[in-house]
Amino acid sequence: MPEITIEDRGPVRWLTLNRPEVMNAITSEMLALLNTELKNADDDNGVRVLVITGAGRGFCTGLDLKQAAAGEGIGGSGLANAGARHYSTREICTVTLQRMDKPVIAAINGPAAGYGLDLALGCDLRIMSDAAVLMPGFARMGVIPESGGTWYLPRLLGWAKACEVAMLGDNLSAEQSEGYGLVNKAVPAEEFDAVVGEWANKIAGNAPLAIQEMKRLFRHGLTQDFESHSHHVLMSVLNLFKSEDFKEGVQSFVTRRAPEFKGK
C-alpha cells in the first residue's frame, strides 16, 4: 500500500497519511513523497483546496520511534543520508506547506504528536475530531518542535501560552485545543468527515484567485510593516478587478444567483 494516498473529490484533494498500523508515523520516504504531493497540489489548477488527514485511528504520531531505536530512518543513522533531505530547506515539507498558495485544511482525526503536530500547525485551518488529541510532549522526548512548532506556537497562542503548551508537554483534548485557539473547530467524531467536507467545499466554491491572494498577503504580512503591506494589497486588488472571477462575483450578486468561479 502507498504510504500516502490521493483522492480528488471535485476541486478538493485529500492527502491521507497511510501507515495506520503505526498511527501514521513518519519515515524519510514518506516525507519525500509528502513534499512532492504538496507541490503537485499547489501546481494543479484543478485543485482549489487541500485536506491532509490520517488513515485509521491516528493523524500522525511523529517520527517512527521503532526505526529510530533501531538506528534507522530520520531519528537514527539514516539521518546522514535519506533522512537528511528532510532537513534541507528545499525539501522540508512544512516549508513547502508554508509556501503554498492553495488553502490547506488539517483534518485531525486522531492523535497528532511530534512531527504530526507541527504538520497540523502548518496548515491554514485545523478541524479536530473529539476522538483526537494533540500531544506536544517534545521536551519529554528530549527534542524540540523541529518542523515549524517553535515558529507557529507563539504566533497562534502568544508567548506565555506557547511556553505553557511546549514546556509542560501535557496532552490537549479537542475541547482544550479549540479553547486555546490551536484548532478552528472541535467536532464530534460522528460528524467529523461531514464538517471537514463542508468547510473544504465552501472554500473551494469561493473565488480561487482571491483565496490564493489572501493567503499570499497573510504570509507576507507577517514580515512587513503596515504601509508596505498596504501597497502590496492595493496592487493585488487592482489585478483582481481585471479578473473574470471578479466580474462573475459582481454579476452573480446583481442577479442573485450562486457564482461559478473559473479561477481566471
| Domain(s) of CATH 1.10.12: residues in the chain | 207-255
Cell 533522512 appears where?
83
Residue 245 neighbours by CB under 8 Å, 6+ apart = 207, 208, 209, 210, 261, 262, 263, 264
Count helices and strands (H / E) in the chain: 11, 9
| Mean pLDDT across 84-110 | 81
* Grid coordinates of 140: 519529554
4-204 is classed CATH 3.40.640.10? no
At 145 the pLDDT is 83
* Grid coordinates of 84: 537528511
At 87 the pLDDT is 47
Residue 78 vs residue 94, higher pLDDT: 94
Other C-beta atoms lying within 10 Å of the C-beta of residue 191: 12
At 73 the pLDDT is 53
At 79 the pLDDT is 47
Write out pLDDT tens, residues 179-228: 999 999 999 999 999 999 999 999 999 999 999 999 999 999 999 999 99
Which residue type sits at 255? T
| Mean pLDDT across 138-146 | 82
| Mean pLDDT across 226-239 | 94
| Mean pLDDT across 134-161 | 89
At 64 the pLDDT is 76
At 91 the pLDDT is 64
- If pLDDT is split at 50, 70 and 90, which confidence band does 72 have? low
Beta strand ranges found along the chain (DSSP E): 4-9, 12-17, 49-54, 104-108, 112-113, 125-129, 133-135, 172-173, 185-187
| Domain(s) of CATH 3.90.226.10: residues in the chain | 4-204
- If pLDDT is split at 50, 70 and 90, which confidence band does 92 have? confident
Which residue type sits at 173? S
Is pLDDT of 88 > 80? no
Give me the CATH topology for the region 207-255. Lyase 2-enoyl-coa Hydratase; Chain  A, domain 2 (1.10.12)
- If pLDDT is split at 50, 70 and 90, which confidence band does 29 have? confident
In whole numbers, what is the pLDDT of the chain averaged over residues? 90
At 138 the pLDDT is 86
